[in-house]
Amino acid sequence: MKFDFNAEYFNPLHTLDCGQTFRFFPYKQGFAVLSANKACYVYSDGNKTVVESGDCDYFWRYFDLDRDYSEIAEKAKSYNIPLLSRSAELCKGLRILNQNREEMIFSFIISQNNNIPRIKGIINRICEGLGEHVDGKYYAFPTAKAIAEAGAEFFRNAGAGYRDVYLAETGARIALEGIERLENLDAASLKSELLKYKGVGPKVADCISLFGFGKTDSFPVDTWIEKIYREDFGGTLKNRDKISKYLVELFGENSGYMQQYLFYGKRLNL
């Protein structure tokens, strides 16, 4: 099964390559994308982006295709911030994904003080070691129960380093409690609860909130955003929490979209 979408507002490369997901790789003319226990093939075909999958409804939601990103891109330009305006125009096909929430908690624990190729490698080894082999083609992201039962040594051997204990302890807690209590919290309350998990700091909590729970009034701040804040906003704050609060006050419910335009635009040196 497959569906297509206007490529102007759905660019697979920009959407996948902006640091919000780690389970994708080049495949044929596009990318294979894995999420939880599902997979799709996404590629550009002229003025359309095509998604092929046995779970089309899942990936329609995953790529956030019910949302009108033309309005978001125009809103970005209205702030009259040169980097943001350039990125919103040249990267208007970037979309924020609706990803599996447990997967995001574990993935962004792995992401802290790490680079994307290494993050992807660690996650891939964890999936191969603990995830269900689906249709003999790919590995699902493991359940919290499987993560809890694996123990810290497994994650250390998978290359997670000091994050091994974080993964094991957070896995045990989620396996015991589930995450249903997090589902309907506002962004501030969700962040407060996420910070109680082993290995989750403010930036990781904001990433989980944005990319897992769809809290677009979250603004993750890393070294790239600090650089943008200084160079493109003329900011003088040093504390990342304060920088995040300043940017959320500026962009409100659009914060997450603006963060991605700014982050990816700076990486591309637009």
Catalytic site residues? 203
Q: How far apart are CA 264 and CA 186, in angstroms?
A: 26
Distances (CA, A) of 199 to 136, 167, 194: 33, 8, 10
**DSSP-assigned letters across all residues of the chain:** -EEEEEGGG--HHHHHSSSS---EEEETTEEEEEETTEEEEEEEETTEEEEE-S-HHHHHHHTTTTS-HHHHHHHHHHT--HHHHHHHHHTTT-------HHHHHHHHHHHTT--HHHHHHHHHHHHHHHS-EETTTEEPPPPHHHHHHH-HHHHHHTT-TTHHHHHHHHHHHHHHH-SGGGTT--HHHHHHHHTTSTT--HHHHHHHHHHTT--TT-----HHHHHHHHHHH------HHHHHHHHHHHHGGGHHHHHHHHHHHHHTT-
Which residues are registered as beta bridge partners of 38? Answer: 35
**Sheet containing strand 38-45, strands side by side:** 2-6, 48-52, 38-45, 30-35, 24-27
